[in-house]
Structures are given as structure tokens and as C-alpha cells.
């Protein structure tokens, strides 16, 4: 594979755009779902601890 330093051939730019968009959208959605799950689990842990604390004699 040889390189063209000032290669400005923009043919197939839509394919390049499509590939990188797919990568970023999927990564973003996965990270978002992880962060949501973490937040909800954190909240649940706090609530359960509080419940157990209240029940202590």
C-alpha cells in the first residue's frame, strides 16, 4: 500500500462516514447503558442498606 501525502480523493467518503458513525453510535449507546445500570444499582444498594439499617433493633 503506498501513500499519497496530499491525497484529497474524496470518493467513497460516505462509506468512511458510515463506518465511523456506526462505531461511535454503538460505543456511545453501550457506555450510556452501562452508566444508567450503574446509577440504578448504586441507588438500589443505598436503599437496601438504609432499609436494613432501619430494621436493626
Partner 1 sequence: MRKLADVILPPVTLAAMLSAIYMVFVYVPTDKVQGIVQRIFYFHVPLAIMAFVAFGTVAVASVMFLWRGTRTWDRVAHAAAEVGMLFCTLVLITGPIWARPVWGTWWTWDARLTTTLILWLIYAAYLMLRSTSGPGDQGARYAAVLGIVGAVDIPIINRSVYWWRTIHPAVLVTREGSSGLADPRMQSTLGICFLAFFLLFLWLLWVRNENMRLGDEVEALRQQALGQA
* Site residues, partner 1 (CB under 8 A): 1-5, 7-13, 15-16, 18-20, 22-23, 26-27, 30-31, 34, 37-38, 41-42, 44-45, 48-49, 51-52, 55
Q: How far is the CB of 26 from partner 1 (least distance, A)?
A: 6
In which residue are the cell numbers 447503558 written?
33
Q: How far is the CB of 51 from partner 1 (least distance, A)?
A: 6
Give the span between the Cα atoms of 3 and 6, in whole angstroms: 9
Amino acid at each position: 500500500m503506498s501513500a499519497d501525502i496530499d491525497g484529497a480523493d474524496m470518493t467513497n467518503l460516505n462509506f468512511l462516514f458510515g463506518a465511523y458513525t456506526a462505531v461511535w453510535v454503538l460505543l456511545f449507546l453501550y457506555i450510556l447503558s452501562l452508566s444508567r445500570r450503574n446509577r440504578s444499582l448504586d441507588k438500589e444498594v443505598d436503599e437496601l442498606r438504609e432499609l436494613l439499617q432501619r430494621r436493626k433493633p
